[in-house]
Structure 1
Amino acid sequence: MFRTRGWRFAVLALTLALGSSVPVMADGGAPAAGGARTGVNEQTGGQSEFGSETRDPQYYEVLEQWKKEGAVADHNATVTVPGSKFVAFSPNADVSIGSYKGKDGVLVWEANGDEWVEFEVNVAQGGLYAIEMSYHPFVDSKNRKPIALNLTVDGATPFLESKSLELYRHWRDKLPAQKDANGDEIRPVAEDISGWMQWELRDLSGAYEDPLLWRLTPGKHIIRLAGSDPMALESITFKPAAKTETYETARQSWPQSGPVEADPIVIEAEKVQWKNDSAIALAFDNDIANSPFVRGHITYNTLDGDRWATNNQQISWSFEVPESGYYQIAFRQQQAFVSNRSSFRSILINGKIPFSELKAYRFKYASGWKGAPIADERGAPYEFYLPKGTNTISMRVTQAPLRPIISDMDRAIGVLTKLTAELRTLTGGVDDKNRTWELKKDLPGFVETFSELNDSLIATRERLIQINGSPDAVSQALVTIEKDMESMLRYPDEIPYDPNRLNKLQGKLSEQIQLMSRQPLQLDRIYVVPAGKPLPKMEATTMEKIEGFVFNFFNSFKSASGPGEDDGQVLNVWMNRNRDYVNMLQGMADESFTPKTGIKVKVNLLKDERLLLLMNAAGMAPDVAIGLPQETPFNYALRGGMYDLKQFPDFEEVFRQFSPGSWIPYYYDGGYYAVPETQTFSMLFYRKDILERLGLAVPDTWDDVYRILPILQQNNMNFTPTEQGMFLQMHGAQYYKQDGSGSGLGTEAGIQAFKAWTDLQNKFGIDQRSESFYQHFRDGSYPIGIADLNAYIQLLVSAPELNGLWGVAPIPGVKQADGTVARWTEGNGGDQLATAIFKQTKKPQESWEFLKWWMSADVQVQYATDLETLYGVTFRWYTANIDAFVQLPWKEDDLQAILEQWRWFREVAKVPGSYYTERELKNAWTRTVINGENYRTSLETAVKEIDREVRRKMQEFRFIDGQGNIVRPLQLISVPEPWEGVDKYVKK
């Protein structure tokens, strides 16, 4: 209790002492590399309170309110504003009026950062309007993702979804697929075939059946489009919402027609007219009834259901109808991805949803491949009138039926977040087992709110079962959550002893929301059959299934493209990634490396990095290995298993392409034994909207962080826990002695750095651990914090509602005597991969030529581009080659911040026994933060353990003799200065 009170008084005193000295965000300020500040988005829209953090109301809430106030969508007014008639734009906007791809007098917006353009619309008839845009994305290698927009009306964001709108591209796979040396198809990469397109703005997640509507009263309005993606814009049209009748009503309005005499039309689902997401990939399925099916070979014969499952992902197919009339449409489909879960699709014929039942058509769960027509709930097939000639069928992912359930669970997470903050305030962040709590008295309303939340989740689960048609994995997970909550309610006074249980409940609910947001569906074929005619056979017979099972069983023993013996004729390369990565590299090598050098290459799939040890011991090591974990080259170099790259005369040319700090782990005894392949590092992430509201600036140093922490904590917010690597390095600690004989953390600089690290919890009240930076950042409980570049992509893809409301900056540093701010950071473990040449190779020069080619800027850019096109932005390739990295599709402002942090990138050296260091540092942290042990004593204990293990390993490798004397020093390299290699890309 005394410790809790002391912490509270310290925070209060610090807050009062700071007073007006807390830095305030300057209007229009913009952070640049090196610590300048970043301005915030000026629109935050409507707000509803949670603590001091606000959120914009969701579309369904606003739409309901508008309708209560009398706004109607049933009107006949249409207003079109030409793209060339903009009335204002941001000072940095690169806009002009010109010609683009066959159209004159259009807005050509070459955005290269956060920019905005405004239009004036004059409305004569008030009401609810859908917005349709005629646009053309820029088609080039740097612009592959959809165009993200933030739309405001008269300076305000009417609802949350208006912040995260997208205009999509059109893609098509390059077919026929190429084949590898084994006769297996290589998964084709999609090409951007975007042209001039029209799109009615919809919510990004596909949570609503219809396009979004905006309320416009009579008079003039200013529409602002904000974004950072280039495009050409022909027009913006404001129009009434389209009416969609039921099947029975729509059927009566269609033409009369007699029976159609024609053969069934069969469409191979993988042969799309276009898809609006390049990540919708083809898949190989070995069901014998799939088409095409090639015995013994991989054939990409279906659409991958796992990759066609989210947001507004849409696919369109075209087909020729021989005779006007009525047809049935059926699918050979597989929908068994999640037990008992239904998936939903909006189905469009010739660009329109023909009747309301197809706005969110249910594909029920069924095991295995099934054939079924589009039918009503009784199973009666719908009939579609199709005119003679070219027709299209399109299918778009939607989660509209589940939107109320997801909203309920989102609200539940918000309540749990608030309760967690209240509990943290009550306990002061200290889990005091010796204190007795009476929660109903100590925190009035907490137990009642928690109980009401449990009842609400029970009702949510029952509604979910109704919508889905049966219990599924999500409803069963909700049962588990309810049991956890009931257990906590039985003993409410024990809740303060373990507040992390509330965080775990939030995590479980978030997982279920993610699961419901996915609507997978795999397709093999589409059939268009004259009405009244029997459908073709769409499923394998029992005998065919048995035949297929037997064949696939024996075929599974067939040797795959994996590591094998070097036949002496080709360069043997092993790649520690999945088959698509391997096939992509093999194709590039065949296309450019071999014709240029005459060196034949075989890229093999390395399924498990541990196989290297066995194969090397058997004398079957590869020439080159790609995708090696960071510690592997050093461990092999210690044992004479890697080739010293410094022996090549042009090594220095390669060295200069990478940050000096990225080479450190691959240095051993005077040589370099691998080339950095990929790397990520930490950045500072911040919520522009929340910092602006609190009047806080983006911190440049840790002293700045300490000054803003009381303000954050007063508002039930906090800063992220911080890993030791970067914190200790920037505070002057050296991990190892220069000769590698032991830990360097026992110096006074190391001890003070360790104290500063543990003070984050002991003195400044930062949380001891964090379950999910993404979730905390998204809900605003961590409006600022440190995370790696993977969080950047996750926020970009999975938090569209924060579009334009967050930014990145270099991590806070420590000011040095000369005034510079040191921001040293190391990489993120598993993402630090390397390429190396094995010592056993008989082709060292050929291996070196391949390694140089593979890590060159041009090849890295091409590989990254193809990878992102195939899998989507979530698979961004974090190449360590800076010349390639800057050519990837980063927002310019963010790239500049990343480059500033890149100059301070420095990995920790490797020594024999270095694996002990991280473990002992964590043990020391636990002793100091959790157990209250003195920081100096705790670290000294850790240093002793580290030294013991390092000495043992140094003796094993004969750097130290049996008496502890140094036989030969290891001589570690140091990188004391930031890298100047980034300067050529930094914009002053």
Structure 2
Amino acid sequence: MKTLVRTRPWLATVLALVFVLGPTLPGLADGSGESPGSGATDAKTTGIVKKADESQSLDPYYLEVLEKWKKNGAAMDHKGMITVPGNAVSGKSEQANVSAGSYDGKNNVLIWNAQGDEWIEYEVNVEQGGLYTMELSYHPFVDPKHRKPIAWNVSVDGANPYLESKSVQLYRHWKDQLPARTDDNGDEIRPMAEDVSGWLSDSFRDSGGSYEDPLLWYLTPGKHKIRFAGSDPVAIESVSFKAPVITDPYQTVRRTSPADAAAVQADPIVIEAEQVDWKNDSSIPLSYDNDIASVPYVRGKITYNTIDGERWSTGNQEASWSFEVPESGYYKIAMRAQQSFLSNRSSFRTISINGKVPFAELKAYRFLYASGWKGVTLEDSAGKPFEFYLQKGKNTLSMRVTQAPLKPVIIDLESGIADLKKLAADLKALTGGVDDKNRTWEIRKDLPGFIEQLGALGKKLADVRTRLETVNGRPDAVSQGIVTVEQDIQSLLKNENEIPYEASRLVTLQGKIGDLIQQLNTQPLQLDRIFIAPVEKSFPKMEASMPQKIQGAFINFFYSFMPKENLNKMQDDVLNVWVLRGRDYVNLLQDLANESFTPQTGIKVKVNLLPDAGLLVLMNAAGIAPDVALGLGQDLPFEYAMRNGIYDLKQFPDFDEVYKQFAPGSWTPFYYNGGYYGMPETQTFQMMYYRKDVLQSLGLSVPDTWDDVYKMLPILQQNGMNITPVGHNPFFLQNGADYFAADGSKTALGTEKGFDSFKKWTDLYNKYAVDRSLSSFYQHFRDGTIPLGIGDLGMYIELTVAAPELNGWWGVAPIPGVKQPDGTVARWMGGGMQSSAIFKQTKKPQESWEFLKWWTSAEIQERYGTDLETLNGVSFRWNTSNIDAFAKLPWKKDDLNAIMEQWRWFREIPNVPGSYFMERELQNAWNRTVVDGINYRTSLETAIVDIDREIQRKMQEFHFIDDNGNVVKSLNLPSITKPWEGVDKYVKK
């Protein structure tokens, strides 16, 4: 018997490995699969299961490839230089919209008016082999629809040499429209940036700002094909290939600078940091700082007097200033800066003078953490200021965000996550994913090498921590976080035979390290003024004295009692609009109303910022309410409607015309007792995100139905992958189940369709082994372990902004659905909305209605979304509910087509009194079935009893049910069974 007990773990391991590897053997033996570049093979029809090609998802970093190239003798000091005219294209994709012509003063250039994913190709004849930079002379299309940088996938001879080549970026130039305008309170309105891009020249850099120098490309003697793939329109004058520029250290540069320069007798030059000559990202905003030493400073007024530190922190964000030098000679540079955003964290900037980094120490200059504003002088390690030789006349100074010193640390931390994933997979293969406390393990025998690998990872992380502290200049929260991970690993190793019982801790550690990496990706730095002084002269005072600090604190304290919006002072002669959003949103809307609505209608509008939804409730109870409120949560109008605090929009005679402008399923949350009490304003969509490269390497296609998903899940799981957890919404809506009875008196979950839908939802976890939770869809999507999943449009923006290396390698599609008898696939799904409403206390209901119609119109929504994105960047994409305006925002055509198809099936759950109880009890039922193993029917029946009890209690409170439980009046909930035909004109089959 003892022998049998001791062999059980070994047998379990063998059986688990057979189970995991067995189904993959036919695919591995077949050898006839297509390459990822040739299109996906449909695994459903071929029956072939392919093992993932790790090279597809684990591309080497540039740092690793460059080191290998140099080790193999790739030359950097060659004299090779090649220039290819932009119009000398040797190949292009079939749909590429390219032509030769004139553009903004230059003739015979390539005009590439990209409309979707396209590519062009150049042939280069290389005589001297070696490492080259690629430099482009280009002109971005200046158009409101095109605001983001030009992003390209650059390949050489049909392959990406390293990960970063999948997304190189060419930037635009923006300039803030100064002086800033002021509002009615005398506060400045954040200025809009204007695209001032002309013909520009720049070398290719990685989009993450991870390296000090431009990217290098190894070209051997002979002919090479260089392909640029992207979807951003641009004009190209030329592509140049040059030997890399070597930047000498400061001492070398200083020795070779003019030695006979006379001492400069000029006053220090002062540059206001907010007055940038240009910036390469419109979303590097100006910021208001109320420190008394910040210039300009106006008591009690918002004045945009600095460069925003928190938003000037990622990628290659760059700002440039110009200044006049009165005499040629040597100068020193300092700046009034604040670097106190992340405790004990240093930030780094690449500093250029006249477009060139003058010496190596400025490739990644470190700004140490310090509390409050400090005067920072550019100086060497001994504290001696650097001396810059500047010629008389116009000069420029530029500062670009870089995380180059941290990149090796980030790579090692990502490697640590990969190690933990492998260890977790090995452990799962051993245990079969079952946490059986009755089994006895001898981990060193049952899983040879596991303990040694886990111990080695702990030592590796200790080394990473030491290097991080050296780069940062001191310990910080990230290095302390690494200490915590090390301690967790040591804790596991103390009781090594208990590790199989704590397999989930390995997954938790992956999440911890992932969070640390995210923290390292930001380099915040706020600037007020820049000083350029002759080396013999002192800088002006850069910090406030103690008396000034005390005075400033008193002034700021005094003005804190003077709110900008006095909401209880309602103006009778204007339409009072409250907005539950940030100040930039309010200012933009006020400008639009003054420019468009008031001249058209004669109705004056006062837009106020509503800082908290709770204030709306309190002030309404006190008899103070706006005429119109915007930015409300989708359930808030229903709550007010039940209490007779909001206006029924259906009372307006032209409501039916407005109703048709929006998807019927977006109106359902605002319905109450025969009326509609809110209007859709913005909405998001649940979409399916997929990694093209990973699915192609597995021979899988994008699933159309849930049956397709079920068939592909074993293939994903056999390759250590999975999909995201999915909520209940699609399973109930797509299978014809309702959440509530038509009269609103109880839940409708107790029907056979309801039970069947709940079973399908829980089977996704119990039967098909989808993970119950996921720490970060974004992070797992990036590394390819979750190559398919459902997320909202926030995921779209996050991937666009923060994962440029995946450019062209991911896509969006409508969510999987259920095939209907007529052959259509039902994809019903909600997503979430913000709403607008008219309050019952208004004395101007008709004027309020006119304002809402104006505000939600296509023209105004498009203009507002365009301005908002220009001011704040792509991350502030305005997901308007107006489909005509939405379609005109800068989406990729294929992505817009997918979103529109999902919009057809958009349907939110209606509200009834007490419906807030449903979500909680459905989740409890899920927990009982998936976590505790209780029968699905028993579990849902328990939830139904609790939900119905709460609904009936609230229905009695609002007099829909009498004391005996009889229905007095019916809610008559709207029923939506057909997809919206309003999207037909936008969806291309």
Same topology, TM > 0.5: yes
Q: Is the 8 A contact 1:30 1:36 kept in 2?
A: no
2:855 alignment counterpart? 854
Deviation string, structure 1 residues 165-213 (Cα, Å, up to 9, x no partner)? 0000111111111111110111112111111101111111112111110
**CA displacement 1:766-823 (0-9 Å, x = unmatched):** 1111111111111111111111111111111111221111111111111111111111
Shift of 1:10: 9.2
Aligned to 2:933: 932
Classify the secondary structure of the residue corresponding to 1:759: helix
- Cα distance change, pair 56–562 in 1 and its aligned pair in 2 (3 A): farther
Q: 1:453 to 1:18 in 2, by over 3 A?
A: closer
Distance in 2 separating the partners of 1:566 and 1:868 = 31
2:708 counterpart (684, 704, 709): 704
1:395 aligns with 2:399: yes
Match 2:681 to one of 677, 681, 698: 677
Judged with a 3 Å threshold, the aligned counterparts in structure 2 of structure 1 residues 814 and 28 are, in CA distance, closer, same or farther, namely farther
Which residue matches 1:42?
none
Q: Which AA in structure 1 matches 2:449?
A: G
The 1:842/1:499 distance shift into structure 2, 3 A limit, reads: farther
Q: Could you tell me how far apart the structure 2 residues matched to 1:8 and 1:487 are? A: 28
Task: After TM superposition, give the deviation of residue 389 of structure 1 in Å.
Answer: 1.2
Q: Could you tell me whether the CA contact under 8 Å between 1:562 and 1:606 is conserved in 2?
A: no
Cα distance in 2, alignment partners of residues 163 and 684 from structure 1 = 22
What is the distance in 2 between the residues matched to 1:323 and 1:846?
A: 63
SS in 2 for 1:927: helix
Task: Please list the CA deviations of residues 452-502 of structure 1 after superposition, one character each: whole Å capped at 9, or x if unmatched.
Answer: 111111111111111111111211111122222221222233333343322
Partner of 2:539: 535
Within 1, Cα distance between the matches of 2:24 and 2:363? 55
Which deviates more, 345-354 or 542-551?
Answer: 542-551
Where 2:985 maps in the other structure, the secondary structure is helix
Partner of 1:545: 549
**2:100 matches 1:97:** yes
Match of 2:319 among 298, 301, 315: 315
Opposite residue 417 of structure 1, the aligned amino acid is K
Q: 1:794 aligns with which of 789, 795, 798?
A: 798
Whether 2:987 is the aligned partner of 1:986: answer: yes
Q: Does 1:889 align with 2:893?
A: no
Q: 1:505 aligns with which of 490, 502, 509?
A: 509
Give the match for residue 106 of structure 1: 109
Partner of 2:169: 166
Would the alpha carbon gap of residues 348 and 66 (structure 1) be closer, same or farther in structure 2, given more than 3 Å must change? same
1:14–1:710 contact (8 Å) kept in structure 2: no
What CA distance in whole angstroms lies between the structure 2 residues aligned with 1:534 and 1:631? 61
CA contact (8 A) 2:24 2:718 kept: no
Deviation at 1:425, TM superposition (A): 2.9
Which of the numbers 313, 328, 334 marks the counterpart of 1:330?
334
SS in 2 for 1:307: coil
2:412 to 408, 417, 420: 408
Question: What TM-score, normalized to structure 1?
Answer: 0.95
Structure 2: gaps spanning 5 or more residues: 1-7, 45-50
1:493 is paired with a residue whose SS is helix
Residue 229 in structure 1 maps to residue 232 in structure 2: yes
Question: C-alpha distance in 1, partners of 2:337/2:34?
Answer: 55
Shift of 1:562: 4.9
The question of whether the paired residues in 1 share the 8 Å contact of 2:43 and 2:700 is answered with: no
Is contact 1:48–1:57 with CA below 8 Å preserved after alignment?
A: no
Does the 8 Å CA contact 2:57/2:783 hold for their aligned counterparts?
Answer: no
Alpha-carbon distance between aligned partners in 2 of 1:48 and 1:127, rounded to the nearest angstrom:
33
Partner of 1:614: 618
Deviation sequence 1:119-175 (CA, Å, 0-9, x none): 001111000000100111111111000001000000011011100100001111111
Following superposition, the deviation at residue 633 of structure 1 comes to 0.5
Q: Report the Cα offset of residue 48 of structure 1.
A: 11
1:753 aligns with 2:754: no
Report the equivalent of 2:565.
561
Structure 2 Cα separation of the partners of residues 748 and 617 of structure 1: 44
Deviation at 1:12, TM superposition (A): 8.9
- 1:95-127 per-residue CA deviation (whole Å, 9 max, x = no partner) reads 111111111111111111111000001111000
Q: Secondary structure at the match of 1:548?
A: helix
Q: Which amino acid aligns with 1:962?
A: D
CA distance in 2, matches of 1:526, 1:655: 55
1:683–1:809 contact (8 Å) kept in structure 2: yes
How many angstroms apart in 1 are the aligned matches of 2:126 and 2:748? 71
For residue 906 of structure 1, what is the aligned residue in structure 2? 907
Relative distance call for 1:763 and 1:431 in structure 2 (3 A) is same
Closer, same or farther: CA 704–77 of 1 in aligned 2, 3 Å: same
- Residue 543 of structure 1 aligns with an amino acid whose one-letter code is P
CA contact (8 A) 1:25 1:696 kept: no
Larger CA deviation: 274-283 vs 530-539: 530-539
Note the 1:37-186 alignment, pairs <5 A. Answer: 54-186=57-189
**Retained in 1: the 8 A contact 2:43–2:699?**
no
CA distance in structure 1 between the partners assigned to 2:646 and 2:33 by the alignment:
54
CA distances 1:824-854 after superposition (whole Å, capped 9, x unpaired): 11114xxx11001111111101111111111
**Which among 201, 210, 219 is matched to residue 213 of structure 2?**
210
State the partner residue of 2:4. none
Give the counterpart of 1:345 among 339, 342, 349: 349
Shift of 1:533: 1.1
> In the alignment, does 2:967 pair up with 1:952?
no
Partner-residue secondary structure (3-state), 2:142: coil
**Alpha-carbon distance change, 28 to 75 in structure 1, aligned in 2, over 3 angstroms:** closer
Residue type at the aligned position of 2:374? K
Q: Contact conserved, 1:164 with 1:800, CA < 8 A, in 2?
A: yes
Deviations 1:477-529 (A, max 9, x none): 11122222221222233333343322222222122212112111111111111
- How far residue 721 of structure 1 moved from its aligned partner, in angstroms, is 1.1
Question: Which residue matches 2:967?
Answer: 966
> How far, CA to CA, are the matches of 1:754 and 1:19 in structure 2?
37
Looking at structure 1, the residues matched to 39 and 901 of structure 2 have their Cα atoms a distance apart, in angstroms, of 15
2:516 and 2:114 map into 1 onto residues whose CA distance is 37
Question: Which of 236, 246, 249 is residue 249 of structure 2 equivalent to?
Answer: 246
Secondary structure of residue in 2 paired with 1:301: strand
SS of the residue aligned with 2:293? coil
Secondary structure at the aligned position of 1:985 is classed as coil
Following superposition, the deviation at residue 431 of structure 1 comes to: 3.3
How many residue pairs match? The answer is: 972
**Which letter does structure 1 place at the counterpart of 2:891?**
W
Separation of aligned partners in 1, 2:844 and 2:306: 41
SS at 1:334's partner residue?
A: strand
Q: String of CA shifts for 1:525-559, please: whole Å, max 9, x gaps.
A: 11111221121111112211111111111111112
Partner of residue 44, structure 1: none
CA contact (8 A) 2:52 2:697 kept: no
Distance 2:34 2:972 in 1: 47
1:384-405 alpha-carbon deviations (Å, 9 max, x no partner): 1111111100011111111211
CA RMSD of aligned residues (A): 2.5
Measure how far apart 1:25 and its partner are. 8.4
Matching residue's letter, 1:692: Q
User: Over residues 233-283 of structure 1, what are the superposed CA-to-partner deviations in whole Å (9 max), with x where a residue is unaligned?
Assistant: 111100001121121221232233101121211110000000001111111
> Which residue identity lines up with residue 787 of structure 1 in the other structure?
G
State which of 642, 663, 669 in structure 2 corresponds to 1:665. 669
Does the CA-based 8 Å contact 2:465-2:479 persist in structure 1? yes
Q: Distance in 2 between matches of 1:696 and 1:739?
A: 45
Correspondence for 1:735: 739
Residue 3 of structure 2 corresponds to which residue in structure 1? Answer: none
Matched residue, 1:845? 846
Structure 1 counterpart of 2:916, one-letter code: Y
2:653 to 642, 649, 652: 649
Q: After the TM superposition, which of the residue ranges 299-308 and 785-794 deviates more from structure 2?
A: 785-794
Relative to structure 1, the CA distance from residue 493 to residue 872 in structure 2 (aligned partners, 3 Å threshold; closer, same or farther) is: farther
Aligned partner letter, 1:968:
K
Distance in 2 (alpha carbons) for counterparts of 1:332 and 1:54: 44
Distance 1:59 1:19 in 2: 30
